[in-house]
């Protein structure tokens, strides 16, 4: 049988939040109202990752390849979210992690996370 291979994950964006379903059955989900930070992870030769975090440092990893206009439009509802800053970070030639948005009322500190 020929066809497209199964993707590693699916991302669903709704008015309530974002959910990523992995091929191994695991799920990451975060309600928009719980998002307190948005990070962009870039690494040469890899897909850009958008990391949405809640107050406990838990969240949802969204590959740029899985985003669409709905995801970007929904990010604009975060207070003072700057889509230009997001685009600059995502298109950066430098490998690393950039915080592109924090809630006006963020937690005292979010943990540094390891990315695979």
CATH number (domain holding residue 33): 2.30.29
- Whether residue 46 is contained in a domain is answered as yes
pLDDT for 4 equals 47
How many domains does the chain divide into?
1
pLDDT for 72 equals 92
Q: Which of 66, 33, 68, 37 is nearest to 51 (CA)?
A: 37
- Whether residue 114 is contained in a domain is answered as no
- pLDDT tens series, the chain, 116 aa: 444 444 578 899 999 999 999 999 999 999 999 999 999 999 988 999 999 999 999 999 999 998 889 999 999 999 999 999 999 999 988 899 999 999 987 655 555 555 44
Q: Which of 52, 55, 59, 48 is nearest to 91 (CA)?
A: 48
pLDDT for 110 equals 55
């Amino acid at each position: 049988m020929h066809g497209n291979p199964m993707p590693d994950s699916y991302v669903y964006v709704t008015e309530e939040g974002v959910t990523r379903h992995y091929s191994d059955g695991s799920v990451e989900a975060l309600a928009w109202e719980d998002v307190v930070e948005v990070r962009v992870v870039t690494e040469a030769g890899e897909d850009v990752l958008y990391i949405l975090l809640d107050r406990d440092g838990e969240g949802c990893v969204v590959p740029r390849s899985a985003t669409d206009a709905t995801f970007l439009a929904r990010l604009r509802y975060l207070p003072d979210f700057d889509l230009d800053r997001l685009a600059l970070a995502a298109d950066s030639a430098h490998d690393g992690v950039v915080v592109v948005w924090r809630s006006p009322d963020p937690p005292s500190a979010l943990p540094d996370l390891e990315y695979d």
